[in-house]
Amino acid sequence: MSEATTKEFSVIGKSVPKIDARDKVTGRAKYTGDLKVTGMLIGKILRSPHAHARILSIDTSKAEQLPGVEAVITAKDVPATFYGISPARYDETILAIEKVLQVGDKVAAVAAVDEETAVKALGLIDVEYEVLPAVLDPLRAMDEDQPQIHPQYERNISVEIHQDFGDVEMAFQQSHLVRTDRFQGNRATHVPMEPHAAISKWENGKLTIWSSTQSPHYFQYHIARVFGLKMGDVRVIKPTVGGGFGGKLEPSAAEYVSAALAMKTGRPVKIVFDRKEVFFHNRGRHAQHIELTTGVTKEGKILGVHGKYIIDGGSYTSLGIASAYYAGAMLPLIYEFDHFKFDCFRVHTNLPSCAAQRGHGAPQPRFAFESQLDMIAKELGMDPIEIRKVNARRPNTMTLNDLKVNSCEFMACLEKAREISGWVGKKGKLPPGQGIGIGCGGFITGAGYPIYRTRLPHAAAIVKVSEQGDIATLYIGAVDIGQGSDTILAQMAAEAIGINYEDMRIVSADTETTPHDFGAYASRQTLMSGHAVKQAGEEVRRQIIELAAELLEASVADLDIDRRVIFVKGSPEKMLPFETVANEFFIRKGPLMGKGSYTPPKLGGKFKGAAVGTSPAYSFAAQISQVEVDEETGQVMVTNVWDVHDCGTVINPNLLHAQVEGALFMGMGEAMYEQVVFDDKGRPLNANLGEYRVPTALDVPQVISELVDSYEPAGPWGVKEVGEGATLPTMGSYANAIYDAIGVRLYDLPLTPEKVWRAIHERKKPS
Amino acid sequence: MGTAIKKGKLHVVTLTVNGEEHAVLVKANTTLLDLLREEFDYTGTKKGCELGDCGACTVLMDDRPVNSCLVLAVEADGHSFTTIEGVEQGGKLDRLQEEFINQAAVQCGYCSPGMILSGKALLMRNPHPTEREVREAIGGNLCRCTGYVRIVKAILAAAEANS
């Protein structure tokens, strides 16, 4: 958003420093693994070496006798309650009951006085397995000859989706051109720099868990359910969190097992995953196998789309049902068309579980769509930006799957991206081996419905002004996992009250001291938690103004507050400092507080799965990438990326662009380098940060992040999404730029030098 | 380099951390990372992979950046270390720390201590690095939040302030 439109604000729209930055640059910020609780033991989990095996027996006697070991537990010592995150598919237990379903599955656990003793004890547990044939290829998982992984999922089908909007066959018949292409996605994973960690304390029938979590609320809900406790007897506290990206949205064995060990020993127990365990827990990107058919008119107008998917869900369901629906639901968002068919099988394999990762289910289909759209443009002799403009969504429209779009500046994004990238001078005009390509995306601003059925509001906030009126504290359940929600929510509170950012303190993400909020996922907090904060702040403002009116003998309507000064509009000499009025308020009436909450309007259609993809608001983005390809080696160097985002009003420009840069970076890693690979026994071959190739500072291009003017009526002050949307366009824009550079089309992520090199040689073969 | 004295199964190690001298008894397999975190409570030194891949545990060993997970405590004998807790001097942030805040180079913050120490080591040996040199200096420090854009800017801005 331009300076001109943000000028009216005192605190929002400004790049204030992050509220926790000083603690983070000095090492004072405490993450879960940094905490020590008196009497604390260290927990370790024994994990399966087999992808699929029956547990015949477990002998823990030797481990129990090791000095320093306080407890050894197996499935018989813990609740057998099935859990998960999609209520229709609870299929995981704290420790494996009968079978292990993946390498790294949870078999037994130990609590000991220190890590070394705990690790030694794991080695003393004897487990006898009957190794079973494993399902390792998602494309074969549904075949008759494959073993069935879960008794309740026949042919290993986790979910089967068939959605049919309009009449896609008719659309194809009316089309000038119909193309079918097949694309293959990769198993990427979040790689938060902080591994999952939890400390559980069991005292007087109450369980307290410090956890590296994206959602204290969901953790509290699931942990209470699994252990049969009242929610009020489970307290989840989020210390500083070192990144999540979707991987810390549900409790892991770190929470469940440490809680079970704490209950058994009566002592606090800490579990910190090592890096390999983070790969075992996974919940990363589903590898999607996509067959996409699209029909267009001569002018490039899209008439119909049919997507057929098989996606690899891995061992447990986790949030995978939603991921599967998102893979289809987001396709009709950014381009307008009326006929769409979506067929998807999410299948189980004996590999780590897949779930939500930045852009949830949508980035790989977007890669397929953006790639195919370029192929169609080529056949029609159209410029790739032109074909996108022909189809670009307009504001105040409804998608064919009943997603209501308010603000939408996608057209402006396309135009600005074309301008700032120098597209016209570059497209088709760069020297051999160099190319430019476009990819686009759009994303939700918070999910329209929570993950389990509840009538709770999605966000809530309390603001309390101190007795002296010098500071105000925001109590909020929203979860800062690094993206900066504590900062921007504090800015919003200050703006709403009429005080300075520096006057704000924040207490966040603790189920006991802060009001309910669903947490950090689906790019929801700026809009949803922001609404609650604005309401709470405005309630404080209203009370202050009422008292000030009395003290100044003025009418409420004539008063305003700006940066701690309460004044009569038009006669600014009639004023009172904020602290004077706030202090007087406390003396006369007690605590000065405001509260707020937010529930989105009822959204979405009536068909099966209609809730997925609903949101109060949608962001849009266009991304252009420029590449250089070495045809000898297949090495691709991305030199520049330009991202133009339609994200509504900006609360903190620095943090906003940092979100775009980070989201784009995650898309870039998935596009170019990242893939978890397995051997023929289902053992991960690169479950470490040396061989799972997260891009380094030397691998990333120059990134320019720009915005278009936009105002979202459904958001407080006009805000909407920014944290995930920029992940979606990157893979397609890279593939399209590579095509522009060397004339070869890649259908298979990641776009490695080997694949580029092979595609070049394939092209050179005489046909 | 000093020589650690063996006492039974333990070794006496003398080292300086953030200007303070310590003599401690360590096991042969204790890493410098665990010594700093568990014994001295310098938890700003982060554990990200324990294999030397991520750089979150970077500290300065005689002003050179090392992965503290790959240094044994016994090897630390006779050396001087700076952790992130030792960068702020007398309540005043180092220019590099200030620039990490100003440029919004910090998101989750888990890589920040290692990044700042790698950046500091670079600026000590090369006060006016090029962007390429900055990227090389932090090439062993992984960040998952920022795409490095603002981290590179912050180090360059701190270098600019040197002149």
- Sign of the CA dihedral with A424 first, then A428, A434, and A440 last: positive
The verdict on B20 and B82 lying in the same domain is: yes
Beta carbons within 10 angstroms of residue A563's beta carbon: 13
Beta carbons within 10 angstroms of residue A698's beta carbon: 12
Superfamily of domain A32-132+195-241+248-281: Aldehyde oxidase/xanthine dehydrogenase, a/b hammerhead (3.90.1170.50)
The verdict on B81 and B9 lying in the same domain is: yes
Three-state helix/strand/coil letters over A636-679: EEEEEEEEEEECECCCCHHHHHHHHHHHHHHHHHHHHCCCCCEC
The pLDDT of residue A763 is 84
Strand A504-508 relative to strand A565-568: parallel, antiparallel, unpaired?
Answer: unpaired
The verdict on B47 and B118 lying in the same domain is: no
Q: Measure B24 CA to nearest chain A CA, in Å.
A: 18
Q: Measure A121 CA to nearest chain B CA, in Å.
A: 18
The verdict on B75 and B39 lying in the same domain is: yes
Contact B134 A668 (CB under 8 A): no
The verdict on B39 touching A (C-beta cutoff 8 Å) is no
Residues 289-348 of chain A whose Cβ lies under 8 A from any Cβ of chain B:
none
Partners of B48 on chain A (C-beta within 8 Å) are: 193-195, 275, 689
The pLDDT of residue A3 is 40
Cβ pair A641, A730 in contact under 8 A: yes
Q: What is the mean pLDDT of each run of 10 residues along chain B (163 residues)?
A: 65 97 96 97 98 98 98 98 97 97 98 98 98 98 98 98 79
CATH assignment of A359-445+614-764, among 3.90.1530.30, 3.30.365.10, 3.40.50.300, 3.40.50.150: 3.30.365.10
The verdict on B105 and B157 lying in the same domain is: yes
User: Which domain range does residue B49 map to?
Assistant: 5-86
Interface test with B, best of A26, A31, A34, A193 (most B CBs within 10 A): A193
Separation CA A344–CA A352 (nearest Å): 20
CA dist list (Å): A612 to A327, A328, A607: 10, 9, 11
Q: Measure B79 CA to nearest chain A CA, in Å.
A: 21
Strand A69-74 relative to strand B64-67: parallel, antiparallel, unpaired?
Answer: unpaired
CATH label of the domain that carries residue B155: 1.10.150.120
Beta carbons within 10 angstroms of residue A9's beta carbon: 14
Q: Which residues contact B107 (CB under 8 A, 6 or more apart)?
A: A243, A482, A483, A484, A658, A662, B145, B146
Cβ pair A304, A340 in contact under 8 A: yes
Separation CA A18–CA A701 (nearest Å): 25
Separation CA A223–CA B150 (nearest Å): 38
The verdict on B99 and B27 lying in the same domain is: no
The verdict on B58 and B118 lying in the same domain is: no
Partners of A33 on chain B (C-beta within 8 Å) are: 43, 47
Question: Token pair of A530, please?
Answer: 């922001």
How many folded domains does chain B comprise?
Answer: 2
Separation CA A184–CA A106 (nearest Å): 30
The pLDDT of residue A764 is 79
Cβ pair A673, A752 in contact under 8 A: yes
Boundaries of every domain in chain A:
3-29+458-598, 32-132+195-241+248-281, 359-445+614-764
Indicate the residue of B101, B104, B108 with minimum beta-carbon distance to A241: B108
The verdict on B9 and B60 lying in the same domain is: yes
Q: What angle do CA B69, B123, A27 make, to 5 degrees?
A: 45
Comparing CA positions, the residue from A766, A761, A734 lying closest to residue A748 is: A734
- Across B49-135, the runs of DSSP E, i.e. the strands, are 58-61, 64-67, 80-82
The verdict on B150 and B129 lying in the same domain is: yes
Interface test with B, best of A14, A18, A26 (most B CBs within 10 A): A26
The pLDDT of residue A209 is 98
The verdict on B80 and B103 lying in the same domain is: no
Instruction: Among B58, B86, B114, give the residue marking a domain's end.
Output: B86
Coil vs helix vs strand at A453: coil
The pLDDT of residue A4 is 40
Contact B109 A274 (CB under 8 A): no
Instruction: Among B86, B110, B126, give the residue marking a domain's end.
Output: B86
CATH label of the domain that carries residue B76: 3.10.20.30
Contact A241 B83 (CB under 8 A): no
Which CATH number describes the domain made up of A3-29+458-598?
Answer: 3.30.365.10
Q: What are phi and psi of A234, to 5 degrees?
A: -120, 120
Comparing CA positions, the residue from A114, A402, A108, A667 lying closest to residue B29 is: A114
* C-beta pairs of B87-90 under 8 Å, 24+ apart in sequence: B87/A26, B87/B116, B87/B117, B87/B120, B88/A26
Q: What are phi and psi of A296, to 5 degrees?
A: -135, 160
Partners of A34 on chain B (C-beta within 8 Å) are: 37, 43
The verdict on A284 touching B (C-beta cutoff 8 Å) is no
Separation CA A614–CA A612 (nearest Å): 6
Q: What is the enclosing helix (H) or strand (E) of A23?
A: helix A21-26
Separation CA A158–CA A202 (nearest Å): 36
Comparing CA positions, the residue from A523, A707, A745 lying closest to residue A613 is: A523
The verdict on B66 and B110 lying in the same domain is: no
ipTM given for this complex? 0.97
Question: Token pair of A16, please?
Answer: 């204030």
Q: Measure A18 CA to nearest chain B CA, in Å.
A: 7
Separation CA A626–CA B134 (nearest Å): 23
Same fold, A32-132+195-241+248-281 and A359-445+614-764: no
The verdict on A701 touching B (C-beta cutoff 8 Å) is no
Q: What is the enclosing helix (H) or strand (E) of A628?
A: strand A618-629
What parts of chain A have a pLDDT lower than 50? 1-7
The pLDDT of residue A8 is 83
Burial class (CB in 10 A: 0-12, 13-18, 19+), A553: exposed
CA dist list (Å): A184 to A137, A141, A581, A742: 13, 16, 63, 21
Contact B145 A275 (CB under 8 A): no
Instruction: Among B68, B86, B104, give the residue marking a domain's end.
Output: B86
Separation CA A215–CA A522 (nearest Å): 12
The verdict on A589 touching B (C-beta cutoff 8 Å) is no
Coil vs helix vs strand at A113: coil
Nearest CA in chain A to B40: A34
